[in-house]
A and B are shown apart, each in its own frame.
Chain A
C-alpha cells in the first residue's frame, strides 16, 4: 500500500484540456448522424436552443418538426413517424421526456416497439437554478423499467456525441440522457461507442467504482486522490444502464470484492439498484451508493448542489472508505 502503481499513470491520460456541455455533444452528434442517415428526423418541444439542435435544423429544415410545448403529442408523432422508416430523435428536458409523457412512451413507443430515440437534456441536479420542478432524479428508473428500452447516460461531450450517432444503428427505443453544465471533456474523440459495453477508465484492485454520466469525472478525481491515499480504485464507466454490462461488473467485483456506484439520480431505481440486483444474485459484496438520497433537489449552482446532495468526488471517497471498511470486517 502507498506505492504509486501503474494504474495511476494510466489515469493521467484523462487529464483534460477543454470543457463542454454534454448537450452540445448531442447537437454535434445529431448533425453528424443526420448527414449519415437520411431517415433521421428530429422533433423538439420548444427547446431548440437548450438542446443545441440549431445546426441540424439549419442543414435539414425539412427533417425537423417543431411541436410546441406539447410533449405528449411529440412522443406520439415520433412513434408514428417510425412507420415509413423514419428514425425520430425527440428533444426536450429529461423531466418532460419521461415523467410528463410516461404513458405515451409506454404504450406508443415501448410496448409498440417503435424505433424512437428519446433525447433528454438537463437531467438531474446539474440543471441548477431552475430548481426541483425541472431536476428529474427518477428518469433512469422509469425508463429502465420499460421492457425493450435501452437507457444510456453518457459522461462527457465526446461520449454523448458518439452515443447520439450510435443509437441510430440500433433498432428499438432508446432513452439518451445528458445534461446542461459545462464539464471536462476527457474521453477520446475517437473512442468506439458500443451500446451496452462498459468502458474501463482505470484498472484497480481495492474497490470497484461504477459511475455514469456526470459522476464519471467525479470518480476520476476521487480515484486520483484515493491513489495518493494508497487505495487502488477500479473505475468503470457504465454509460449504458440498460442493458447492463453484467460481465464487466462481475469481473471487476470478483477482483476487488467491494463496490461503489455513482450517479446523478435517486438512489432508488438507478444504476446502483441495477448493480445491486446483479450482485445479490451472483456475488453479494459490500456496496455503497453515491446518489441522491430519495429527495427532491432545489435551486443552486450545479457545483453547490452536487456537494450538498452528496454527488461529488469527496462523497465518492467517503463511500470508498466506508465500503472498504465493511470489506475488511467481512474478510477479517
Chain B
C-alpha cells in the first residue's frame, strides 16, 4: 500500500504528544490499579518519534502491511505507552484507552492479536520472543520484494532470555538488514538494578561480536532519538541488522517515578496521580 508523504512532525509537536501520552499512561495504570508505568514513561519519546515521525505506516491497519514499516513490541508489559501511541496515531479511538486491563477490553494487560486491536501483529509479554518474530517478518518482506523496514523494542532485562541470543546469531548470518532493533537500556528490572539481578555486561561489545551494526542514542531526548533512528535507517540494507542501545530513565517525566525499579509495575494512587499529571501539562485533550 502506498502511503502519502507527510511533512515531518517537528520536535515541539512531538514534545506535546509525548506529554499527552505520558498523561494517558499514568491515567490508564491508575484507572485499573495495575500495569507498568516505569518502562512506559521511559520509552514514550521513542514510540512517539517512531509513529509520528520515523515510520512509514498506515493507521488503516492490515496484518500483512505490505509496503509499510512494521513495529514489534517485545517487552509487552509496557503496553500502556504503545496503546496510547497507537490511539493518538489514529489506529483506534482514544476513548478506548479507559478500558485498559478491564474485562472485555481489546487493551489486554499485555498486547495481543486475539482481541483484534489494530496495530498489534503478535502477542508479547512472555519475554524474549519479539526479536525472532521481527526477523521472520523481515524475511517475509524480503521474499515479497518489499523494501520497507521492521522495527522492534526490547527491555534490557529481557536480554537475559536465551532466545534473544538465538535470534542475535541468526540475523547477521542471514543478512537480515531490513531490521532496526532497539533496546531500552534503563538498567532496571523487577527485582532491582540489572547489574545486581543479572549483569548484562558490555552490550555494545556483545551485539557487535554477534555481527550487528550497533548505534547508541539518548531515548529521552527527541533530537537524539530522531538523529539515532534516521541514522539507523540510513544504514539499513547494508548487509547487517541494526541494534540501537537506547539509554532511558525508567519513569521519565514524573519525578518521583524516575530512575527506580520500584515503579516498574506499580500503579499510582489518587494523590500520586494528581502529582504526576501536574508535571505533565500539554495542549492536547485527555481521553
With beta carbons under 8 angstroms apart, the residue of A78, A79, A83, A111 that contacts B112 is: A111
Asked if B143 contacts A84 (CB within 8 A), the reply is: yes
Asked if B135 contacts A63 (CB within 8 A), the reply is: no
B171 to A: closest C-beta gap in Å: 10
Asked if B137 contacts A76 (CB within 8 A), the reply is: no
Interface stretch, picked from A23-31, A65-73, A195-203, A243-251, is A65-73
Name the residue of chain A whose CB is nearest to the CB of B140.
Answer: A84
Asked if B132 contacts A112 (CB within 8 A), the reply is: no
With A70-B166, A80-B137, A111-B114: A75-B122 Cβ-Cβ less than 8 Å:
no
Name the residue of chain A whose CB is nearest to the CB of B124.
Answer: A107
Interface string of B53-85 (1 = CB under 8 A from A): 000000000011110001010000000000000
Interface residues of A in 103-133 (CB under 8 A from B): 103-104, 106-108, 111-114
B170 to A: closest C-beta gap in Å: 6
Name the residue of chain B whose CB is nearest to the CB of A83.
Answer: B137
Which residues of A sit under 8 angstroms from B162, Cβ to Cβ?
Answer: 72
Which residues of B sit under 8 angstroms from A72, Cβ to Cβ?
Answer: 128-129, 132, 162-163, 166
Interface string of A157-195 (1 = CB under 8 A from B): 000000000000000000000000000000000000000
Which residues of A sit under 8 angstroms from B140, Cβ to Cβ?
Answer: 80-86
Asked if B123 contacts A76 (CB within 8 A), the reply is: no
Asked if B163 contacts A84 (CB within 8 A), the reply is: no
Which residues of A sit under 8 angstroms from B70, Cβ to Cβ?
Answer: 83
- Interface range for A: 20 to 34
Q: Cβ of A62 < 8 Å from any Cβ of B?
A: yes
With A62-B143, A68-B169, A86-B143: A107-B125 Cβ-Cβ less than 8 Å:
yes
Which residues of A sit under 8 angstroms from B124, Cβ to Cβ?
Answer: 107
Which residues of B sit under 8 angstroms from A81, Cβ to Cβ?
Answer: 136-137, 139-140
Asked if A80 contacts B132 (CB within 8 A), the reply is: yes
Name the residue of chain A whose CB is nearest to the CB of B62.
Answer: A83
B28 to A: closest C-beta gap in Å: 22
Q: Cβ of B133 < 8 Å from any Cβ of A?
A: yes
Q: Cβ of B216 < 8 Å from any Cβ of A?
A: no
Interface residues of B in 86-123 (CB under 8 A from A): 112-114, 121-123
Q: Cβ of B174 < 8 Å from any Cβ of A?
A: yes
Q: Cβ of A316 < 8 Å from any Cβ of B?
A: no
Name the residue of chain A whose CB is nearest to the CB of B146.
Answer: A84
Which residues of A sit under 8 angstroms from B138, Cβ to Cβ?
Answer: 80
With A76-B163, A112-B113: A63-B132 Cβ-Cβ less than 8 Å:
no
Bound complex: CA A88 to CA B139 (Å): 11
Q: Cβ of B131 < 8 Å from any Cβ of A?
A: yes
A92 to B: closest C-beta gap in Å: 13
Interface string of B125-157 (1 = CB under 8 A from A): 110111111111111110110100000000000
Interface string of A39-81 (1 = CB under 8 A from B): 0010000000000000000000011010110101111111111
Bound complex: CA A88 to CA B143 (Å): 12
With beta carbons under 8 angstroms apart, the residue of A78, A103, A107 that contacts B136 is: A78
Asked if B143 contacts A76 (CB within 8 A), the reply is: no
Which residues of B sit under 8 angstroms from A68, Cβ to Cβ?
Answer: 166, 169-170, 173
Asked if A113 contacts B113 (CB within 8 A), the reply is: yes
With A67-B170, A68-B170, A108-B133: A84-B144 Cβ-Cβ less than 8 Å:
yes
Which residues of B sit under 8 angstroms from A78, Cβ to Cβ?
Answer: 136
Which residues of A sit under 8 angstroms from B170, Cβ to Cβ?
Answer: 67-68, 70, 73, 77
Beyond A70-B169, A80-B72, A84-B140, 18 extra complex contacts between A and B, CB < 8 Å: A65-B139, A70-B170, A76-B167, A78-B136, A79-B132, A80-B122, A80-B134, A80-B137, A80-B138, A80-B140, A81-B137, A83-B64, A83-B70, A84-B66, A84-B137, A86-B140, A107-B124, A108-B123
